[in-house]
Structure 1
Amino acid sequence: MTMRRERRGGVLAKLLCWAPVTAVVVALFAMPSSTGAARLGSLTVTPGGNTYGGQSVRFHGDMGNGEQRIFLQRRGCPTCIWSEVVDPRDGRPFSILTQANGEFDFMFPAPAMNAVYVRLHSRQADTDAHQFKTVHQDADVFLDELAPADVPLPRGFAVVGEAYDLRIDTVRVPSGPKRPALAGRRVELQQRDESTHEWTFVAQGQLGPEGLAAFSNRSPVLDDSGVYRTVLGDWTQGGDDIGWFPSLPFHVEVVRRPDPVTGLVATDVTTSSIRLSWNLPADPERRRIVIARTSFGDPNASNPSHVIATIDGEAKTYLDDHQINPSASYNYAVYTRSADGVYTRLSTDESVRTPDPKRGEQ
């Protein structure tokens, strides 16, 4: 009996010795860690995507458990280690106190990179991760004819004596998603000096509500070809901190527009073919002749479905025998086109009706 009591006493003593260690282990498992917290807070970011790096966005949500200090954290992939976000305004890790009920609401610049994750962290809770999808700044420069011809000019071409605008689009650029519009942002148009390769000031404007700007009513002469770019100025309104941005160089080539053919007539019309003839202009810019045809409405070479032939610029006639029917009307437009792809301002038009079929030809 005495030995059993001694053994029981020894076992009890050992258990009592291990009790503090066990309590520490349990406490460690219960503490918040770098990968998870005791509870999950809420986070909403507005706007949640399609922002520029440095654009001020709203963080709001609820950490629960009363007033607490929360830290903004970021990581570059779903499994990367979280790190503190440095506030660009003071160079220190960003933190803020929640309200007494655990809610928070503050503004902070969006990160200047895409696919980065952010969250709010405290000793009591973590929020869900929010993935930022920021966009790069961009500016598309293009030429807009003030009095467009039948066929638009190729990109970057202007015609001597024909006025145009240089337009800037910062929202609907050729690649990537639609960008935010920063109405009122300063825009500077610059031209490159081909002797020094330095950019010189031409004009200044600002973006409108749709993120567009225009430098208007430029009437070029032949030696006005040049290289332009636009520079978007620093933008620091409304808490934003977005740096200046230059567009890609935009080449403007000033050329002559080719003269049209004259005297277009249908010289031979049958139930299955129509021959067209014309006089050539004395125009060294002419390289090709383009013929458009429709059965209804006005033919236009800007519509690929209207174009039936593109032939040598020295041709004076063309035989159309492609799907010509008797008792049918056809409208033709004949253009000349330069080697640069510039068309005559107006086409030379002709309407033709084929004869009725003879008896036995139906």
Structure 2
Amino acid sequence: MSGLAEAVVDLGAIADNVRTVAAVTDTALMAVVKADGFGHGAVPVARAALRAGATWLGVTSAAEALALRGAGITAPTLSWLHRPNDDFDKLINAGVDVGVSTTTHLHAVADAALRLGVPATVQLKADTGLTRNGAGRDEWPDLVTWARKYEVEGGVRVRGVWSHLADADVPGTPGLARQVRTFSEALRLARGAGLDPDLVHLANSAAALSAPRTRFDLCRIGLALYGVDPFGALGPGAFGLRAALTLRTTVVNVKRVAAGTGVSYGPEYVTAAPTTLALLPLGYADGLPRATEGRAQVWLGGRRCPVVGRIAMDQCVVDAGDLPVAIGDPVVVFGPGDDDTTPPTVAEWARWAGTNPHEILTGIGARVGRDHLQERADVA
């Protein structure tokens, strides 16, 4: 560990998770590596996922897509969130599919293609109930009509039609059936306008694992790729996913204190009995939410110990009780786990913070180093 803390990323787990989802879905898979691969490192995660059988990569922005290309990754890639005045020339030249949700964006992409003399490959997104990006019922007919016009003229190729689900992680939700119907109608209108997309996709991680009717030609896996159960299981859950990231550090100071000792700012925590306090060099700037105060735990000395007092920007304090703790002792903040006899999981940290695992993973700060463990086959 070269810095004060590190996130250890098991690329073998990434590969195993691709294979686990593939065994359930029997469709093509898009590995979603936006937000620097959910904090795991977009480039190494992308390579591991592709080696394991994923055939597509998904990102949010042009910058993310071009970073993959700059690293020599040539796999089909979809980038789906842009301003109309973004530099689409670079995406077109890099062979990146552009997600299009409005006619304004479509006109801008087509203009760039005309200027370059190179057709742009686009994937049209329908809003099927998330009410976020994507063209709604009123806008969709106009979008597919314009897309077909540009396709006939040779400036645009419509490779895909897609959407994103609002509540696939809620078992039994009636909203899922409504979204599938809305999506099917959008697809019918697109084909009625003369479009013949090669790729139709709707399913996210939760739907890929549990809702066959959403799978179509491809499933986009984000959270499942990183080994987190999209249905909220605190451990591995029912699908056999493997957590890919372990956040760890070491103790940097130890104090034996008396009962009645205040800890950290306020103090909002006062020791009830004589105890040993261990200082960790991780705080909210490194991704430990202040909202977890009074609930969070870490793995120290072979057991779970509570984080006590306010979490500061750079550090937090752990009550180790009567454990024989020393400076330099290893600490696991979260990682693979099954129950309270193992280190906490990222899902538990999310529960303690009142958020989702995505926010915890992507919130790990830049000063936390990433150590990528290669897949077993690579090492062999």
- The answer to whether the superposition gives a TM-score over 0.5 is no
Which structure shows the bigger proportion of residues in helix conformation? 2
Higher radius of gyration, 1 or 2 = 1
Which structure shows the bigger proportion of residues in strand conformation? 1
